[in-house]
Amino acid sequence: MRLTAKQIALHDDQRDLGAAGRAALVRAFGRLFPAAGRVLDAGGGTGWAVPLLEAAGLTAVLADLSADMLAAAATDTPRVRGDLTALPFAGGGFDGVHASYAIQNVPDWTAAICECVRVLRPDGVAVVAWGGPSPDPMVRDVSAFYFAQLGQWAGTAGQRQGLSSTAAGAAQVERAGCVAIAPVTITGAQTRTLRQLVVRMATNPFRGDPPADLARTARATTLAWAAKRYGDLDRPRTVEVAHVLYGYRRL
Ligand SMILES: C[S@@+](CC[C@H](N)C(=O)[O-])C[C@H]1O[C@@H](n2cnc3c(N)ncnc32)[C@H](O)[C@@H]1O
């Protein structure tokens, strides 16, 4: 899938946790991953997490299937184009694997999980963000309306192709040879207009690939509905964001 600069920028905008959220994430990475470890950011996209891993004293390697995401990376961390279902790394070579909102995008997500565990050394830690509904009631409401407009196209490509829940993913990580450690929730806030939130939602290339005319109609209908329900589309609003990290230790 080719990605435009706009799609990539809007995708990454979702990860903005604000300064306090970013600081909390650095602390969480420091607690979860083995100290001074080498961490694979698997399906890491443009590597938004890399500076935060590095700030936690870790060394990162970025891997992603998308040449466009890798080319947009603002980091000089080593980057490798590779498929999560066949990672181009030897077994046991990493102290940690960070996979945020990536495994659920892979049709063969069980293979992706096996690969993430294979490259971990014993006692190494995988940290997975499986994704889930927004903590913000307005964003959840608008998102539900938008995806309802898409009908059969709603949902992530990964979900449509098999990963039905966080529990299913977690069970597979455990079958692959890990034990779960307590999840950590990082919260933050973003100030965005409702229009920006709807456009971002409708531009996300990783939430399925509806036909262009259906996507255009869904976006326009959602903007009109949101303006009626919530008022001024262009007024900045502060919305809650959350990033839930599920940790797994390799046996
Ligand atoms: C929703 S984005 C998440 C990116 C980043 N981890 C983040 O948290 O923003 C999903 C990422 O998974 C990558 N991806 C999808 N299928 C993949 C595969 N089979 N192997 C490696 N990366 C893949 C995409 O290119 C994209 O960068």
Residue 215 lies in a domain: no
Contact 135, 241 (CB under 8 A): yes
Query: 163 alpha carbon to ligand 1 midpoint, in Å?
Result: 15
Beta-sheet pairing, 59-64 with 94-100: unpaired
Residue 225 lies in a domain: no
Q: Which atom of ligand 1 is nearest to the CA of 69?
A: 27
Q: Which residue has the higher pLDDT, 232 or 132?
A: 232
Q: Which of 52, 53, 66, 98 to mutate to test the pocket of ligand 1 (most atoms within 8 A of CB)?
A: 66
Q: Which atom of ligand 1 is nearest to the CA of 14?
A: 9
Instruction: Identify the CA nearest to 225 among candidates 249, 207, 251, 198.
Output: 198
Q: Which atom of ligand 1 is nearest to the CA of 98?
A: 6
Mean pLDDT within 210-225 = 92
The kind and range of the H/E element at 226 are helix 212-230
Predicted pLDDT at 159 = 44
Which tokens in the block code for residue 131? Answer: 């994704």
pLDDT in tens, 111-154: 999 999 999 999 999 999 999 999 999 999 999 999 889 876 66
Strand order in the sheet with 59-64: 79-81, 59-64, 38-42, 94-100, 120-129, 237-250, 178-192
- pTM equals 0.95
The whole domain housing 168 covers 5-136+156-189+240-250
Predicted pLDDT at 162 = 61
Task: Name which residue sits closest to atom 25 of ligand 1, judged by CA.
Answer: 66
Instruction: Identify the CA nearest to 181 among candidates 125, 130, 131, 132.
Output: 125
Whether residue 161 is predicted with pLDDT greater than 80 in this model: the reply is: no
Residue 206 lies in a domain: no
Residues 6+ apart with CB under 8 A from 10: 199, 200, 203, 204
Mean pLDDT within 36-61 = 98
d(CA 177, CA 114): 9
pLDDT in tens, 89-102: 999 999 999 999 99
Query: 107 alpha carbon to ligand 1 midpoint, in Å?
Result: 12
Domain count of the fold of the chain: 1
Q: Which atom of ligand 1 is nearest to the CA of 12?
A: 9
Task: Name which residue sits closest to atom 1 of ligand 1, judged by CA.
Answer: 101
Residue 169 lies in a domain: yes
Characterize 134-162 residue by residue with b for buried, 16 or more Cβ atoms within 10 angstroms of its Cβ, and e for exposed. bebebbeebbebbbebbeebbebbbbeee
Q: In which band, very low, low, confident or very high, does the pLDDT at 221 lie, cut at 50, 70 and 90?
A: very high
Residue 15 lies in a domain: yes
Residue 165 lies in a domain: yes
Half-sphere exposure of 213 (CA within 13 A, CB side): 0
Beta-sheet pairing, 38-42 with 94-100: parallel
Residue 131 lies in a domain: yes
CA distances from 71 to 8, 51, 75, 95, 103 (A): 11, 16, 10, 26, 20
Q: Which atom of ligand 1 is nearest to the CA of 45?
A: 27
Residue 204 lies in a domain: no
Predicted pLDDT at 153 = 67
- Ligand 1 site residues (CB inside 6 A) read 15, 43-45, 48, 64-66, 69, 83-85, 100-102, 105-106, 206
Query: 237 alpha carbon to ligand 1 midpoint, in Å?
Result: 29
Mean pLDDT within 150-177 = 77
Predicted pLDDT at 19 = 95
Contact 162, 106 (CB under 8 A): no
**CATH number for position 124:** 3.40.50.150
